[in-house]
């Protein structure tokens, strides 16, 4: 297995005479002011030493596998056939908000999108395939997430939190011969930022067990050795995403908030019950980690699969949205919750933009502060629900 090192570097221009400015694997000019991604494949120790002393290097990490935060099948009968909007759109207050996301650019980094779906009529979609498999969405995951963020009404029912969005960036990062690794996701985040995204939505996570399995099967390592190496790479990627997010949020000319699903690995209703902490990249400080909520007769409860220590929560059970190929389908997961938060972030961005006060820090703060613990029937513990159910601006 090739050891591919991600190098996040200050400065778009390669420096003459610098051997590290022309890596063996290549480089990507991101379009984001002051940043460039370089790669080194199977670097020698002297190269790693030089990188550690290089003041232009923001951080380095080993590229590791990435996977979808797989949704669970929802109940087809859970969403009433009548109504102005889905329960999730209503619960986050989007139905009564005077904002609809107009003038805000959204980025969805996922499995792609069915650009022909009626839910995206009138949206200018800019697609970029990072996987080598071409544009489109054979999985359907990205289409469902995009529908929740900015989808137009289907059969008279509103499915999108921010249906006024007119431009969306669709980065296909999962699948194909080149997709499914953390370096691809970092490229996609920087591409989205360089293209003007104010909100970036990601319903995926780093695959720690998959990386351990690769090291065992392909490199012949024993499990303890493979686990140790994977833990080091895992931690390095968390730090790399933290540095990346911090740098992007410091760009005063380009406000941005990054939203990610917390993960579905917990078993809150199993015997004995257990909770898994939020998975990267959502675990990186500066990224808004989203837990999933379910509705009950007495109020909101944490979804049994939802990971712990999120930043905020949103509807994530029995979520109706666009199906790739046409129509709609219902899914469960923190993958379904994150798009609700991304949509609400677009509404807050529109609000702040109208008041000429849109910055990364204020957008992030308003989004988190909007969390509400009203109508909760279960736990209100911040370790389970963060600041509570995300809420759209009401005025």
**DSSP label at 15?**
P
Residue 318 has pLDDT above 50, yes or no: yes
Tens-place pLDDT, residues 247-273: 899 888 899 999 999 988 888 888 898
CATH number of 66-385: 3.40.50.200
State the pLDDT confidence band at 77, using cuts at 50, 70 and 90.
low
The reported pLDDT for the residue numbered 80 is 54
Model pLDDT, residue 28: 46
DSSP class of residue 348 equals: H
Specify the pLDDT at position 20.
36
| Nearest CA-CA partner of 280 in 3, 61, 104 | 61
State the Cα–Cα distance between residues 328 and 323, nearest whole angstrom.
Answer: 5
Mean pLDDT of the chain: 89
Which of helix, strand or coil describes residue 257?
Answer: strand
The predicted structure's pLDDT at residue 81: 54
Integer Cα distance of 95 and 21 in angstroms: 51
User: What residue ranges do the domains of the chain occupy?
Assistant: 4-62, 66-385
d(C-alpha 313, C-alpha 383), whole Å? 11
Greatest Cα pair distance in the chain: 68
User: What pLDDT is stored for residue 10 in this prediction?
Assistant: 81
- List strand residue ranges (DSSP E) for 262-305, in order: 288-295, 300-302
Residue closest to 88 by CA, chosen among 391, 395, 308: 391
Mean pLDDT of 76-98: 82
Q: Shortest CA distance to 244 belongs to which of 34, 66, 54?
A: 34
Range from 72-81, 141-150, 263-272 that averages highest in pLDDT: 141-150
Query: 355-367: per-residue pLDDT in tens?
Result: 999 999 999 999 9
As a whole number of angstroms, the distance between CA 324 and CA 326 comes to 6
DSSP 112: -
């Amino acid at each position: 297995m090739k050891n591919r090192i991600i190098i996040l570097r200050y400065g778009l221009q390669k420096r003459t005479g610098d051997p590290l400015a022309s890596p063996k694997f290549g480089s990507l000019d991101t379009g984001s002011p002051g940043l460039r991604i370089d790669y080194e494949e199977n670097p020698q120790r002297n190269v790693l030493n030089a990188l550690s002393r290089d003041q232009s290097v923001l951080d380095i990490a080993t590229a590791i596998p990435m996977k979808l935060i797989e949704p669970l099948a929802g109940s087809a009968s859970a969403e009433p056939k009548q109504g102005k909007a889905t329960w999730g759109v209503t619960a986050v207050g989007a139905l009564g908000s005077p904002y609809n996301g107009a003038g805000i650019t959204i980025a969805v980094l996922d499995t792609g999108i069915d650009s022909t779906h009626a839910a995206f009529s009138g949206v200018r979609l800019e697609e970029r395939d990072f996987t080598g498999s071409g544009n489109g969405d054979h999985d359907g995951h990205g289409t469902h997430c995009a529908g929740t963020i900015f989808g137009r009404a289907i059969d008279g029912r509103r499915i999108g939190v921010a249906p006024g969005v007119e431009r969306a960036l669709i980065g296909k990062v999962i699948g194909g011969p080149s997709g499914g690794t953390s370096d691809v996701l970092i490229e996609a985040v920087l591409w989205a930022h360089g293209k003007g995204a104010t909100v970036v939505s990601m319903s995926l996570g780093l695959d720690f067990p998959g990386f351990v399995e690769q090291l065992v099967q392909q490199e012949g390592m024993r499990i303890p050795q493979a686990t140790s190496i994977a833990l080091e790479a895992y931690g390095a990627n968390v730090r790399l995403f933290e540095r990346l997010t911090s740098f992007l949020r410091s760009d005063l000319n380009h406000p941005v908030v990054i939203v990610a699903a917390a993960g579905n690995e917990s078993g809150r209703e199993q015997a004995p019950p257990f909770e898994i902490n939020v998975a990267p990249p959502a675990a990186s400080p500066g990224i808004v980690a989203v837990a999933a909520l379910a509705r009950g007769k007495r109020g909101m409860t944490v979804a049994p699969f939802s990971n712990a220590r999120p930043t905020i929560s949103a509807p994530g059970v029995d979520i109706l949205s666009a199906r790739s190929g046409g129509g709609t389908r219902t899914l469960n997961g923190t993958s379904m919750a994150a798009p609700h938060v991304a949509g609400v972030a677009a509404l807050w961005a529109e609000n702040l933009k109208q008041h000429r006060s849109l910055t990364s820090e204020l957008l992030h703060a308003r989004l988190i502060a909007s969390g509400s613990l009203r109508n909760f029937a279960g736990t209100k513990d911040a370790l389970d629900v963060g600041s509570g159910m995300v809420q759209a601006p009401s005025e």
